[in-house]
Amino acid sequence: MRKITGFLIFLLVFWCSSTACGKVYIDINSPAFQKFPVAIPEFKNLGKTGAEEKLSVWFADQLSRTLKITGFFKIISKDAFLEDQNSSGITTGEIDFSNWSSIGSDFLIKGGISYSGKKLAVEFRLFDTIEGKLITGKKYWGRPEEKKTMVLKFADEILMALTGRGGVFDTKIAFVGRKGNRSEIYTINFDGSDPVRITTYNSLTLLPRWSPDGSKISFTSYKAGNPDCYITNPISRKTKRVSRFSGLNLLTSWSPDGKKVLLVLSKNGSDDIYIKHLDSGRLQRLTKNRSIDVSPMWSPDGRKIAFVSNRSGSPQIFVMDSEGKALRRLTFEGSYNSSPCWSPDGTRIAYEGSSNGCFQIFSIGENGDNPTQLTFEAGGGESPSWSPDGRYLTFSSKRDGRERICVINSNGLNLRVMPGIKGIKLFKSPSWSGHLNLY
Amino acid sequence: MRKNLITVILVFVCSFSLIFIAGCAKEQAVKSDVELTQAQPTTEEAAALKEQALKEKALKEKILAEAAAFQNIHFDFDNYDLKPESRELLEKLADWLLEHGDFEATIEGHCDNRGTAVYNLALGERRAEAAKAYLINLGVAGTRITTISYGEELPADSRNCEAAWAKNRRDHFIVFPKKQ
C-alpha cells in the first residue's frame, strides 16, 4: 500500500474515562487467553448526502475482517444483534449496552461516516459493554481512497487499548514464488493484500531477507550462473551484488543495526559461516569445520548467533557468540532440526523439526528450555519467521499438494493461509519485515 | 681474439638467413601444390573426402551421445556418501573423461524437498563435491570438473512421495566439449 502523507489524516482523540485508559484487558500471550468478543454493527450515516450509505457496510466488514486476522477477536454474528440501529446512536448516552452484553459481546465498535466536501470523515468508538464505557475513540479525515488506512489505524488503536501494544498492519512478508524451474521474490501485506513481484530474472532466485529497517531485501539468485548474493531496494529495485565466490553464497541474516550480514560460503570447499561488513566489504570467518554449517541468525541484541550444523551427526541447532566462540547445542529432541529464527524479544527460537516423518514448526527457549510444537497439521511447516512484535509466525506449509505461505499466532492458534498468486504453484521461504510505517 | 668472435657471429647469422630463405621458398612451393589439388579434386577423391567427413561427424555424434548418457547417481536422505553403484557409474565416467581429454563436466547436486531449503543447498553442494572428489581420485583433473548445487529447487519428479524423493536426491552430470 502507498505511503500516505501525514496531513491527510487528522486524528481527534475523544475523552475517555481514566479507569479505561491504559488498562490492559487481557494478556494475549497467556495460554488461557480467550478471544475478545466484539460486535461491529454497520456504521451510521451522519451526513446528508447519499454517498455514505454504501460505506456503512464496507467499514463494518473491513474492520471485522482486519480484527479477525489478528487472531485476538471473536466477531459476533450480525444475526445475533438485538439493537434497532435506527433508534440508537454512536455515543455512550445513545446506546443501551444491555443489548450487547446480553448477546455475549463484551466489546462494541460503533462508527459514523460523513462527507465534508470531497473529504471523508469517519468516527470510530470502542466500548466496554459490561461497564458501559467508552474505551477509545478517534475521528479520521481523508480522501475516500484512504478509507482502508483509516480502518487499519483504528484497528491498531483497538489493539493498543486492549493489549497494551499496537498491531503489525504496516508490515509485509517477502517470499519465493516458483513456477516450473524459475522462481522470483514477491512481497505481500500482512493481511494478504497487494502481492508485488520484486525480481524478474527468469532464473532461480531464493531466500529473501528484509533488512531491519525494511528498506532492502537480500536474496540469492542463480541469474549469473552461480548462486550469488544480492541486495535490492524493493521500491526503486536498485540491486547490488554483494557476494560472488565460487560455490554457495547464501545471506541468511542481517545484524540488528543493518551494517553486517551473515553469509554461508562454500568457497573453501566446506560451507562455513562468515560475517560480511557491508561498508568495508571485510569478511570474518566464524566457523571452520568439515561439517555442514548453515542458516546463521543473529539474536535481536546482536550478541549471539543461532545456526544449523550436522557436526553431531544430524542437523541440529547450535548457538555461538558473535565471534564464533562459546558454542553450545540447543536442540536435542528429534533427528532433524533447522531454520532457527530468534523471537524479537530474544527469549525463544522458532525452528522446523521432523515429527512423524513430516516437518513441523517448534519453538524453544533461548537456553534450550521447553521445546514446544506449534503446528500439527498434515501439511507441516518449514522456514518460520517471526512478526516484529513476536505475536505471529509465518512459515510455508503444504496445502492440497501445494506449498503455501501461512501465518499463525505464536501460541499456535489461528492458522491463516495467504492467498495465492495466479500461475504460481509453490510459495516458500517467507521473511517478515519490520514496521514499514506504511500508514 | 675479438675479431675472430665477430667473424664467427657473422658466419652464424648468414647461415641462419640462408636456411630461413630456403625454408620460405620451400613452403611456398608446397602451398601452391595444395591449392592446385584442391581446386580440381577427382571424383574419387571427392567421394573419399565426403566419406571421411561423414565418418568424423558420426564419431562426433557418437561421442556427444555418450557424453549425454551418463546416468544420475542417487543418495540416501540427508546423506552425501557415495553408494557402491554410484562408484561404479563414476568409474565409467572417469574412464570416459580420461579417454576424451577435450571434454569437461559439470556436476549438479540435488536434494528432495524435505527439510530446509538452505540446508539442502549445502547438502546438494556436498553431493556434487563427493562425486568430484571421487573422479579426481580416479585421475581426472579437478580443473575439468565444476560443481553447482540446486538444493531442492529443481526436482526431477515433483510429487511428494518416497519414490519421487529418491529420484530427486541425485547428482546429475553434464559432460560437454571444452569451451575454446
Phi, psi angle pair for A370, to nearest 5°: 55, 60
CA angle A373, A378, A384 (to 5 degrees): 50
Query: Do the domain assignments include residue B135?
Result: yes
Query: Do the domain assignments include residue B150?
Result: yes
Count CA atoms closer than 13 A to A247's CA, side-chain side.
18
Cell numbers representing residue A251 in the block: 545471506
Work out the pLDDT band at A39, boundaries 50, 70, 90: very high
The span from the CA of A368 to the CA of A332, in Å, is 9
> Would you call B160 and A401 a contact, using CB atoms and an 8 Å cutoff?
yes
Share of chain A above pLDDT 70, in %: 92
Which residue is listed with cell 579437478? B142
Judge whether B149 is closer than 8 Å to chain A, CB to CB: yes
Note the pLDDT of residue A36.
93
Work out the pLDDT band at A193, boundaries 50, 70, 90: very high
Cβ proximity of A253 and A298 under 8 Å: yes
Query: Do the domain assignments include residue B52?
Result: no
Note the pLDDT of residue B37.
53
Query: Is the Cα dihedral A125, A128, A132, A136 positive or negative?
Result: negative
Cβ proximity of B125 and A266 under 8 Å: yes
- Nearest-CA residue of chain B relative to A307? B119
The span from the CA of A70 to the CA of A154, in Å, is 13
CA distance A383 to chain B (A): 7
CA distance B89 to chain A (A): 23
Measure CA of the first residue to CA of the last residue in chain A; give whole Å.
8
> Would you call B116 and A295 a contact, using CB atoms and an 8 Å cutoff?
yes
Phi, psi angle pair for B101, to nearest 5°: -65, -15
Secondary structure of residue A237 in the 3-state scheme: coil
- Domain interval for residue B114: 72-177
Distances A152 to A15, A64, A149 between C-alpha atoms, Å = 21, 11, 5
Secondary structure of residue A123 in the 3-state scheme: strand
Mean confidence (pLDDT) of chain A:
90
Judge whether B118 is closer than 8 Å to chain A, CB to CB: yes
Q: Which CATH superfamily is domain A172-432 in?
A: TolB, C-terminal domain (2.120.10.30)
Count CA atoms closer than 13 A to A301's CA, side-chain side.
7
pTM, 2 dp: 0.86
Work out the pLDDT band at B35, boundaries 50, 70, 90: low
Cβ proximity of A30 and A72 under 8 Å: no
Measure CA of the first residue to CA of the last residue in chain B; give whole Å.
54
Mean pLDDT confidence for A192-203: 95
Cβ proximity of A352 and A373 under 8 Å: no
* Residue that wins the pLDDT comparison between B37 and A353: A353
* Residue that wins the pLDDT comparison between A116 and B48: B48
- Nearest-CA residue of chain A relative to B160? A401
Query: Is the Cα dihedral A51, A57, A60, A66 positive or negative?
Result: negative
Note the pLDDT of residue A50.
67
Query: Is the Cα dihedral A401, A406, A410, A411 positive or negative?
Result: negative
The span from the CA of A434 to the CA of A171, in Å, is 6
pLDDT digits (tens, 9 = 90+) for A268-307: 888 999 999 999 999 999 999 889 999 999 999 999 999 9
For residue A244, pLDDT over 90 is answered with yes
Please tell me the least confidently modeled range out of A241-255, A347-361, B13-27, B40-54: B13-27
| Distant-in-sequence, close-in-space partners of A3: CB < 8 Å, separation ≥ 6 | A437, A438
CA angle A410, A414, A417 (to 5 degrees): 105
Instruction: Pick from A220, A249, A251, A266 the residue to mutate for testing the B interface (most B CBs within 10 Å).
Output: A266
Query: Do the domain assignments include residue B172?
Result: yes
CA distance A152 to chain B (A): 34
Cell numbers representing residue A21 in the block: 485508559
For residue B167, the domain's CATH number is 3.30.1330.60
For residue B25, pLDDT over 60 is answered with no
Query: Do the domain assignments include residue B23?
Result: no
CA distance B104 to chain A (A): 17
pLDDT digits (tens, 9 = 90+) for A57-97: 999 999 999 999 999 999 999 999 998 877 788 888 889 99
Distances A212 to A314, A343, A433 between C-alpha atoms, Å = 31, 14, 7
Nearest to A294 among B122, B129, B147 (CB): B122
For residue A22, pLDDT over 80 is answered with no
* Nearest by Cα to A410 from A389, A435, A396: A389
* Range A2-34 burial, b when 16+ CB lie within 10 A, else e: eebeeeebeeeeeebeeebeeeeeeebeeeebe
Query: Is the Cα dihedral A314, B159, A372, A298 positive or negative?
Result: positive
Query: Do the domain assignments include residue B123?
Result: yes
Secondary structure of residue A227 in the 3-state scheme: coil
Judge whether B79 is closer than 8 Å to chain A, CB to CB: no
Distances A382 to A36, A403, B62 between C-alpha atoms, Å = 30, 10, 46
Judge whether B69 is closer than 8 Å to chain A, CB to CB: no
Cell numbers representing residue A301 in the block: 541484541
Q: How many CB atoms lie within 10 A of CB B94?
A: 18
Note the pLDDT of residue A168.
95
Cell numbers representing residue A293 in the block: 554449517
φ/ψ bin of A26: left (φ > 0), alpha (ψ from -120 to 50), beta (otherwise)? beta
> Would you call A294 and B115 a contact, using CB atoms and an 8 Å cutoff?
no
Q: Give, for A408, the enclosing helix (H) or strand (E).
A: strand A402-409
The span from the CA of B9 to the CA of A393, in Å, is 88
Q: How many CB atoms lie within 10 A of CB A274?
A: 21
Burial, A327: exposed, middle or buried (Cβ in 10 Å; 0-12, 13-18, 19+)? middle
Judge whether B78 is closer than 8 Å to chain A, CB to CB: yes
For residue A210, pLDDT over 60 is answered with yes
Residues of chain B contacting A315 with CB distance shorter than 8 Å: 78, 115-116, 119
Q: How many CB atoms lie within 10 A of CB A110?
A: 25
Cell numbers representing residue A303 in the block: 550478541
Phi, psi angle pair for B140, to nearest 5°: -80, 135
Query: Do the domain assignments include residue B143?
Result: yes
How many distinct structural domains can be found in chain B? 1
Burial, A49: exposed, middle or buried (Cβ in 10 Å; 0-12, 13-18, 19+)? exposed
Query: Do the domain assignments include residue B63?
Result: no
Share of chain A above pLDDT 90, in %: 77
Note the pLDDT of residue A133.
94
Distances A417 to A63, A394, A404 between C-alpha atoms, Å = 19, 10, 7
The span from the CA of B8 to the CA of B56, in Å, is 53
Cell numbers representing residue A19 in the block: 479507569
The span from the CA of A213 to the CA of A255, in Å, is 11
Nearest to A248 among B114, B121, B160 (CB): B121
Cβ proximity of A97 and A39 under 8 Å: no
Cβ proximity of B139 and B94 under 8 Å: yes
Residues of chain B contacting A269 with CB distance shorter than 8 Å: 129
For residue A15, pLDDT over 60 is answered with no
- Nearest-CA residue of chain B relative to A430? B117
Residues of chain B contacting A252 with CB distance shorter than 8 Å: 118
Architecture (CATH level 2) of domain A6-163: 3-Layer(aba) Sandwich (3.40)
> Would you call A248 and B149 a contact, using CB atoms and an 8 Å cutoff?
yes
The span from the CA of A86 to the CA of A108, in Å, is 17
For residue A411, pLDDT over 50 is answered with yes
